[in-house]
Amino acid sequence: SICIGCKACEVACKEWNRNPIDGNLEILGSSYDNTGELGANTWRHVAFVEQGQERIEEARESGRRLVSLGMPGIGPKSSGPRGATPAGDLSDVDRTPPDTPEFRWLMSSDVCKHCTNAGCLDVCPTGAIFRSEYGSVVVQQDVCNGCGTCVSACPFGVIERRDDGTISPFAHREEKDERMGTASKCTLCYDRLVDGEEPACSATCPTQSITFGDHDDLTADARSRVADLHERGMTEARLYGANPKDGVGGTGSVFLLLDEPEVYGLPPDPQVPTKSLPRTYARAGIAAAGMVAAVALSFLGSRR
């Protein structure tokens, strides 16, 4: 609700991490954008989503339905927490929206979610992916063997193997990038955090749309912001990634959206692929035990 789409965060990310450009600065036909999506070379991506009046009204209606599911209330002040409405009680909710514009732009600054239950970390066979002391999920390029197992394990499609191994840190000079062929994604600027600095994207953001700090404090601020927007009639506002009971256990990167996740290219119910492994192993064990029992019975029967 604050992002202006300036792409300063995207540029700062590429500059600090010395990531190659994407798209040769050519604007895509589907958006005012040249990078297109997150990938090995683009760890922070700002997308432009254009919406008409009808879609805006649909977003506001879907947001109203989320109130009874635990979203901050809208309408008159109550004696409870700021802007709170008893769960499921919508009788006093002001449903009158503000003037709906003919169209609007949704600016989506996307990045790695740094999941609590990270699928990429679970499946990495070499230990190249680790969780840092800051809670971020980091890939060590010097340990990664480029197998790509983590790529298919990410429910958000964030992590990717780098196939372009050249960078140009200085004019008319090319160096071989040791990260070629290895998995790459946002590290939450781990090297900056170690030195006591905040990530390049949040340090650069001119509107403070991207903020860095204690996860619980920032999530509380985000919920308050959602409540403010609801009170102003912008019932389409909602949080994404703030639910610790979702399929990835909540995310380190929390997003305030103005429409359903699918509009931003985000899965509505992300699931860690490894979540079903215990059940799969149990079924495989039962099947193996059944086969052993069948062979044993067959052997005993033949002896008789």
Tell whether 150 is in a known binding site.
Answer: yes
- Please calculate the CA angle 8-242-244 and round it to the nearest 5 degrees: 140
205 is in an annotated binding site: yes
CA distance 13 to 7: 10
Is 189 annotated to bind ligand? Answer: yes
- Please, are residues 227 and 191 in contact by the beta-carbon 8 Å criterion? no
Q: Is 97 labeled as ligand-binding?
A: no
For residues 271 and 301, give the distance between their C-alpha atoms in angstroms, rounded to a whole number. 47
Whether 267 has a binding-site annotation, put simply, is no
Contact 223, 239 (CB under 8 A): yes
Sign of CA dihedral 209, 17, 241, 245: negative
To the question of whether residue 154 is assigned a binding role by annotation, the answer is: yes
**CA distance linking residue 120 with residue 3, whole number of Å:** 29
Confirm or deny that 13 is annotated as ligand binding: yes
What is the Cα–Cα distance from 178 to 168, expressed in whole angstroms? Answer: 13
Q: Are 38 and 189 in contact (CB under 8 A)?
A: no
Q: Is 259 annotated as a binding residue?
A: no
Give the distance from CA 79 to its chain's centroid.
Answer: 35
186 annotated among ligand-binding-site residues: yes
Task: Take residue 137 and report the two structure tokens written for it.
Answer: 């999920």
Nearest by Cα to 45 from 279, 201, 263? 201
Q: Determine if residue 86 is labeled as part of a ligand binding site.
A: no
* 153 in a known ligand binding site: no
How many C-beta neighbours within 10 Å does residue 282 have? 10
Question: Do 74 and 93 touch, CB atoms closer than 8 A?
Answer: yes
Annotated binding site: 3, 6, 9, 13, 112, 115, 120, 124, 144, 147, 150, 154, 186, 189, 201, 205
Annotated binding site for [4Fe-4S] cluster: 3, 6, 9, 13, 112, 115, 120, 124, 144, 147, 150, 154, 186, 189, 201, 205
